[in-house]
Chains A and B, each alone.
Chain A
């Protein structure tokens, strides 16, 4: 066997090993993508289905984000809708109250710059971009108090923009919702 042939043979071995590794790498990547898609459906964590727009400088005049409509409302079908806004440098309502073990839809927007809503110790995490409405599904299993900081730089008061979420018992929430109106835990 000449040196040239040895060279050729070893190059082929190298190429074979490489192909095997490339196949494994492709399988890893495909598996990850499939897992992500499965988890999205199974755990109901998908991006918001629609893009909705709104004029941030006029949200207080009409539409769903006027002051009297901000807060939590128990819908006829037993779910809860929370409407909130972020602005420099607070959330309104500053304390959001929701029931445990209930499907909740959070609808929120920004009145000025980019903010973000993050509820600590949960997967609730969305940007608030002025001009657009953010929607996120959430469900709490534990009652208690959660912190809700703004997670995007929104100018010099950003470090002071912390809201709260209070998760209360389902029956207690239903009781409080009887009076109608929009619930919050502001001032409690």
Chain B
């Protein structure tokens, strides 16, 4: 018998092999696509065709659901890994001009002499998101909000790119470097706290999370408390409130003091 005779129904192995396979396939398909869908009383299908399409996995857009009104304005920024990727030199130049009005608080080199955040070398997506949130009112601050309301989308992007472009300089008020507290190194798994560095730059950067080294201790403490109390809520889907709420006051003190004491050059990830 040659190979040509293999693929004919005269060949018993072919008959049995193909026959059994096809039979199993047909039986399981009927059971999986018709019998089982209708055997589930807790699921309603319009008709057989709907059942078959659903069992086959035809994607459907989720039905629209009316959600309760938001009590306060929340962040409407969409962030992806592609946000502000590859800025142009022109954008950075325009940002430099705009940044002159920010220098009073954030310092001419992007390093603050007060308790405002240092912006030099901050991830572009972070500045982009916070400016948008200040503009929309998702985040409010007596000093910052008036500056932000009149910014255009283009100006926000330019400012973000400019500050991201600046070199990361040491903080204006350097303090002796503190040892890393446990809450920063390990987080607290059973309280749902990951190591800070998993998002904030020393291990990896979650888009939209700032690196924190050398920032003002008072500022970071205030923000953590604001997140924990829910007073600040522009973190998308509670990503930071979930963490801050689970932190004890001691954790907050330790984390803020540690980060304030660090030079910015230990930040590993860039965006």
Residues of A bordering B, CB below 8 Å: 37, 40-41, 44, 46, 49-54, 57-61, 63-70, 85, 87-94, 103, 111-112, 132-133, 137, 147, 155-164, 180-182, 186-187
Q: Using CB atoms and an 8 Å cutoff, list the residues of chain B in contact with chain A.
A: 31, 36-37, 39-40, 42-43, 45, 54-55, 57-62, 64-65, 67-71, 74-76, 78-80, 186-195, 197-199, 203-204, 206, 236-239, 242-243, 245-246
- A residues less than 8 Å from B64 (CB atoms): 63-64
Which of A46, A59, A94, A187 makes the CB contact (< 8 A) with B40? A46
Contact status of A51 and B60, CB under 8 A, knowing A67-B238, A87-B237, A187-B245: yes
> A160, B195: Cβ atoms under 8 Å?
yes
Judge whether A51 and B192 touch: CB under 8 Å. Answer: no
Asked if A89 and B194 make an inter-chain contact with CB atoms under 8 angstroms apart, the answer reads yes
A66 touches B192 (CB 8 A): no
Query: Which chain B positions have C-beta within 8 A of A157?
Result: 187, 194-195, 198-199, 203-204
B189: contacting residue among A51, A68, A111, A159, CB under 8 A: A159
Q: Which residue of B lies closest to A133 (CB)?
A: B62
Chain B interface helix/strand/loop/mixed: loop
Give the residue name and chain of the B residue nearest to A103 (CB): B42
| Contact between A37 and B36, CB atoms less than 8 A apart | yes
Are A63 and B65 in contact, with the CB atoms below 8 A?
yes
Are B206 and A88 closer than 8 Å at their CB atoms?
Answer: yes
Residues of chain A contacted by B42 (CB below 8 angstroms): 44, 103, 137
Does A111 lie within 8 Å of B236, measured CB to CB?
A: yes
Contacts of B58 in A (CB 8 A): 51
Cα A63 to Cα B80 with chains together (Å): 19
Do B62 and A54 touch (CB < 8 A)?
yes
Residues of the B chain whose Cβ atoms lie less than 8 Å from the Cβ of A94: 192, 238, 242, 245-246
